[in-house]
Chains A and B, each alone.
Chain A
Amino acid sequence: MTDLTAGLLAGTLDLLILKTLSFGALHGYGIAQNIRRFSGDALRVEEGSLYPALQRMQVKGWVRSQLQRTPTGRTGRYYELTDDGRTQLGHESESFLRSAAATTRVLRSTAG
């Protein structure tokens, strides 16, 4: 399992959060769970980076939040994508896929 930390993959963390939220509103715990689940247990979000990222994205206007009742009956803060967030997701996934493809090509290249 790989821990996503604030260093190298910070941009990727934003992307993963945006993608996760594109399926519907979630609270922080849910976002962490979903990233882990979607990645087939390969990626784990460090909670210490998750919350600062969420605050940042709120200020940037990509994400908004409101208090809702959780399925377990408690009150939790649910995050959802704004229209800007959706646009941002489009841009970021596009550029991520492009650079991933390029990186892959480099890695698979053979001499000559």
Chain B
Amino acid sequence: MTLRELIGRLAAWRRREELDRELTDELQEHLTLLEEEYEREGLSPAEARAAAHRRLGHLASTRAESRDAWGFPALERRLQDLRYALRGLRRSPGFTVAAILTLALGIGANAAMFAVLDRVMFRPYPLLRDPSTVNRVYLQTTFQGRRSTNTVFPYTRFADLQRETQSFSHYAAVSEWRFAVGRGDDTRVRKVAGVSAAFFGFFDAAPVHGRYFTASEDALPLGTTVAVISAAFWRREFGGDDVVGRQLKVGSLDYRIVGVAPADFVGTVSGEPPEVFVPITTIAANLGPYSRDTYWLDYRWDWVEMLVRRKPGVSVEAANADLTQAYVRSRAQARELNPRVMADSLVQPRGLAGPVKTAAGPERGDDATVLLWVSGVAIVVLLIACASVANLMVARLLQRRREVSIRLALGVSRRRLLAQFIAESLLLSALGLAAGLVFAQWSGTLIRALLLPEGSAFNLAQDARTFAVGIALVLLTTLLTALGPMVIAGRGELGAMLRGGGRDGAARRSRVRSALLVFQVALSVVLLIGAGLFVRSFGAARALPLGYDAGPVVEAVLDARGESLGDEQQAQLQRQMLEAAEAIPGVEAATTMNTRLFRSNTADLWVPGVDSVASLGRFNFQLGSPSYFQVMRIAIIRGRGFDASDRQGSVRVAIVSEAMAERLWPDREALGQCLHVSLGDGGPAIGAPCTTVVGIAGNTRQQALVDDDPMLTYYLVAEQFAPGALLPIALRLRTSDPTAHVERIRAALTRAMPGDGLAVVRPMQEMVDNQSSAWRLGATLFTMFGGLALLVASVGLYGVISYDVTTRAHELGLRRALGAQAGDVLRLVVGQGLRVTALGVIVGALLALGASRWVEPLLFRVRATDPVTYAAVLGTMLAVALVASLVPARRALGADPMQALRGE
């Protein structure tokens, strides 16, 4: 269409009514002239009139065709179709509400899942400039076929990679921490990001006040203590005052605020945005003199993440090769300090410039995998919803066959009829999207709690990307739901059905509907089996004997915030804090510990008579005070636990786990054996004094929930091995609900700390729960979606059978009149429902078996072909089908057989 024609059409469309009048007059005039012509040729007036009409053709259709030149006929017809569809939907509110709700569940679930996936995996960070050229650095090693990928490494490695690569224009080191920020009552633990000065250059984000810190303030070995605060922090804590130049205590150091970042700036974190940004070269100093003096020299401490921007024209492959070479050189450097760094030929080191979001990276973790699975599940739910709505639409088409046949007789083309089906589907889908977004937003709290890192924003209404996906989903559902009517209409069955009235079309149309139903039942079965498998995995993970009881225990991490204390004073503080903890009402016992749950600490270990302890496994140590075993409820199987006599200066003693005793001394008594332990400060273990094994403890899952190997644990007396440290404290409460007491304990312990020091307290069970989060996530979401699918499928089943019973009322009545018993009719109707369901169940079970290979790695101690789960799901489905077909069957029995006879 040329521009000129467009303008012409627009102009004509604006005065189309006037044009229509003129055209009518004109055609009338033409008719008159034709009549006159025929009369001149000798026809009678009546004959002339008839002939003229024949010539001009159907006046109305000539007019209609002429009108097509004005405006945009195709568009107008679509609008007409939509109006027609709207009228139709309004006439049957029951169908409309059912269809919209069903689609809303499907579309809403998918929109919500996309919103989550997008945040976790795809969406670039706000304000990040040219995101396609920004990468996170991943370092990979493959040892004995097992690949491990690291995104966190020593600062020294970051410096090496920066020095040794040429592919990148920008480099930044990033590290997230939770530090106490502020002084006195305003002190709170907040997220603090240590970043390189170059970090800000990755973004288009000018500070709203002041400036960012500079490279000279972020210099080795010790950066300047300057800080940039987030806009949210600035507004909330400072009321938006001029803060540049003010002091802010972050962790153990005093910082000077130099700027305020803009509102959307979150850096590259997931979840809760950082509130303070400080030079990464000040982080180590914040943690203590040892890290401050060594972090830039040795390779012992993994704590830095690395962002790079590729130079223009540098491909990812070239960058990977460059990084790999630099990594190899950096490992050579590390080997000079520590000869035990393994040879490159053994571990095949590789550097990768990968996605900034780790969930999209080479090792995405179980949570992200489950998330992808659940997104697949959401799509299945959508398919079930579409099948269900398509089924409803076919039923509706059959109910409206009189109307449809009249329209066909009036010359409405088959294409136009199809266009109207599609318009109806489109309208339903669009309304489904609207309802679905409301539903998704409404369940947003749940979704956020389950799926997103703590503190993530989740607002679907303002999210253009989710909305765009929603529109795409609407188009998809429109096509899928219009498919049912289209198959019928397209196969020319419509005419046959219309001619046949109600009775003999029944068999054929129910084949389409039964197929849809089998599809629904099959997919529901797949989802329910998935739900069952995850529920059982979650149950198995929860039922694992942990070897300890974290339920009523809280842990308190003590932070002296840079109060410089000597070793003796620190030891005294530790004792005071332990006493303060024991004095808190409701506390049964308290102990120090150095290794928090699911962290791991290893020391240099030498055992006489054992060649290489390291080759036997990874031995973790735990430091504790005498009541450690009482607090954690770890069983002492033989020998003794710690007691009050195990103090600083007394004979060094250790307690080892059963697994460790078995591994080190397989055919000897472990009690009385010697361990030589060096915690890193006292030279090699071989020269360390003997630590006597005095007890054997039960095995525990303290390092990992599901991996059996880390049950190699030994316990040492904190006072004997780390007399000058301020260790976390674990408190056992006399309550089953420790959460309610967290605040009270935090306040009491913080009061007991000197200066700006504070305690951070949380229930230990949280950490146990986090370990099984992937299964809990899977179990919750699969169950939710599986339940939805079951509901939708049973409603669909009920709808189909009840519709069939209605159309067969006559036949069933006749059967009764001719002597069929109630039981026969019941069997007939229920049997039909069960047959369809059984077919769906079989197909579903086969699909699930086919997918079992991929689910297996996500499960825990449950086979993907678990017969219990399969039996339970199949039983449930058949029971639901039985109920769904019994209800209409009973209604069929209620019909009066005499009525059917009279109708014959």
- Which positions in A face B, CB cutoff 8 Å? 27-29, 46-48, 51-52, 54-56, 58-61, 74, 76-77
Contacts and interface: CB of A to CB of B under 8 A. Distances in A.
Contacts of A27: 26, 29-30
8 contacts: A29-B29, A29-B33, A47-B34, A48-B58, A52-B69, A56-B69, A60-B5, A76-B29
Interface stretch (B60-68, B109-117, B233-241): B60-68
B33 A59 contact: no
Interface string B826-857: 00000000000000000000000000000000
B189 interface: no
Contacts of A61: 4-5, 8
Interface string B155-167: 0000000000000
A28 B34 CA distance: 11
Contacts of A52: 62, 65-66, 68-69
The 7 nearest A-B residue pairs measured at CB: A48-B57, A55-B69, A59-B8, A52-B65, A29-B33, A55-B66, A56-B69
Nearest to B8: A59
Interface in B8-35: 8-9, 12, 22-23, 26-27, 29-30, 33-34
A28 B30 contact: yes
Contacts of B30: 27-29, 47
Interface of B: 2, 4-5, 8-9, 12, 22-23, 26-27, 29-30, 33-34, 55-58, 61-63, 65-70
A74 to B, nearest CB: 7
B9 A59 contact: yes
A28 B69 contact: no
A47 B65 CA distance: 12
A51 B8 contact: no
Most chain B CB neighbours (cut-off 10 Å) among A46, A48, A77: A48
B26 A47 contact: no
Given A61-B5, A77-B22, A46 B69 contact: no
Given A48-B56, A55-B70, A60-B5, A28 B26 contact: yes
A99 to B, nearest CB: 23
Contacts of A28: 26, 30
B33 A48 contact: no
Contacts of B69: 52, 55-56, 58-59
A47 B62 contact: yes
Nearest to B68: A52
Interface SS of chain A: helix, strand, loop or mixed?
Answer: helix
Contacts of A55: 12, 23, 66-70
Contacts of B61: 48
B408 to A, nearest CB: 23
Most chain B CB neighbours (cut-off 10 Å) among A47, A56, A61: A47
Contacts of B63: 51
B66 A47 contact: no
A61 B10 CA distance: 13
A93 to B, nearest CB: 21
A59 B9 CA distance: 6
Nearest to A76: B29
A77 B26 contact: yes
A100 to B, nearest CB: 27
A43 B775 CA distance: 81
B4 A60 contact: yes
B61 to A, nearest CB: 7
Contacts of A77: 22, 26, 29
Contacts of A48: 56-58, 61-62, 65
B409 to A, nearest CB: 22
A52 B627 CA distance: 98
A4 B33 CA distance: 20
A109 to B, nearest CB: 38
Contact of B12 (A54, A59, A76): A59
B5 A51 contact: no
A54 B55 CA distance: 17
A22 to B, nearest CB: 21
B868 to A, nearest CB: 69
A51 B27 CA distance: 8
A56 B62 CA distance: 13
A47 to B, nearest CB: 5
Contacts of A47: 30, 34, 55-57, 62
Contacts of B70: 55, 59
B509 to A, nearest CB: 37
Nearest to B12: A59
Nearest to B19: A55
Nearest to B63: A51
Most chain A CB neighbours (cut-off 10 Å) among B22, B26, B57: B26
Contacts of B57: 46-48
Given A47-B62, A60-B4, A74 B68 contact: no
A51 B66 contact: yes
A28 B32 CA distance: 12
Contacts of A54: 66
A51 B62 contact: yes
Most chain B CB neighbours (cut-off 10 Å) among A28, A29, A76, A77: A29
Contacts of B23: 51, 55
A29 to B, nearest CB: 4
Given A47-B56, A51-B62, A52-B68, A74 B29 contact: yes
B221 to A, nearest CB: 79
Contact of B5 (A46, A59, A74, A76): A59
